[in-house]
Structure 1
Amino acid sequence: MPLYEHVMIARQDLSNSQAEGLVEHFGAVLTDNEGKLVDSEYWGVKTMAYKINKNRKGHYAFLRTDAPAAAVQEMERLMRLHDDVMRVLTIKVDEHAEGPSVQMQKRDERDTRRERR
C-alpha cells in the first residue's frame, strides 16, 4: 500500500488531550477503511507565521500512514469537515524515515549545519 505523511493543525483553544484525541480519532478512521496508522507525533502548540481563522497558534500533529488512497481521501474529507481542524497537508512518500521527525529531535541530535564564512 502507498505510504503517506500528514501534518494537521488544530485550534489553539483545545486542550492537549483533545488534540491528541483528534489524532486517535483519525487513526481509527484509517483502520476502519483498511489502512494502518504507522506512527503519530504530537508536536504541541506552536506559533504560526500568519493567522488562520483568527488564530495565531495551533496544535500541530504528524501522522505516518500506510493506507490505500480511498482511506486517505476519506480521512482528509473528515478532517476538512471537522470544526477543530484548521489545516491539513498530506504528502505521498516512498518510505518512512526511521526515528522521530525533525521537529521532535533535539538541536544536538540534528545534522550539523555547514559553517558560515
Structure 2
Amino acid sequence: MPLYEHVMIARQDLSNAQAEGLIEHFGTVLADNGGKIVDSEYWGVKTMAYKINKNRKGHYAFLKTDAPSGAVQEMERLMRLHEDVMRVLTIKVDEHPEGPSVQMQKRDERDGRRERR
C-alpha cells in the first residue's frame, strides 16, 4: 500500500486531550477503510505565520500512514468537514524515515545546520 504523511492543524481553543482525540478519531476512520497509522506525533500548540479563521495559534499533529488512496481521500474529506480542523496537508512518500520527525528532535541533535559567523 502507498505511504503518506499528514500534517493537521486544529483550533487553538481545544485542550491537548481533545487534539489527541482527533488523531485517534481519524486513525479509526483510516482503519475502517483498510489503512493504518504507522506513527503519530502531537507537536503541541504553535504560532502560525498568519491568521487562519481568526486564530493565531493551532494544535499541530503529524501522522505517518500506510493506506490505500480511497481511505486517505475519505479521511481528508472528513478532516475538511470537521469544525475543529483548520488545515490539512497530505504528501505521498516512498518510505517513512526512522525516528522522530525534525519538529520533535532537539535543536542540538539536528544534522546539517551551519554555524553562525
State the TM bucket, normalised to the shorter chain.
over 0.9
Q: How big is the shift at 1:114?
A: 2.6
Q: Distance in 2 between matches of 1:55 and 1:113?
A: 31
Shift of 1:115: 3.7
TM-score (norm 1): 0.97
Q: Which residue of 1 aligns with 2:74?
A: 74
TM-score when normalising by structure 2? 0.97
CA RMSD of aligned residues (A): 0.9
Deviation at 1:112, TM superposition (A): 4.1
Question: Counterparts of 1:26 and 1:116 in 2: how far apart (Å)?
Answer: 42
Partner of 1:3: 3
Superposition map of 1:1-117 within 5 A: 1-116=1-116
- Cα distance in 1 for residues equivalent to 2:55 and 2:116: 36
Q: Could you tell me the percent identity over the aligned residues? A: 90
Runs of 5+ unmatched residues, structure 2: none
Could you tell me how far 1:9 is from its partner in structure 2? 0.1
Deviation, structure 1 residue 113: 1.4
Distance 2:95 2:73 in 1: 20
Per-residue CA deviations over 1:16-40 (Å, capped at 9, x if unaligned) read 0000000000000000000010000
> Which ranges of 4 or more aligned residues in structure 1 deviate by more than 3 Å?
none
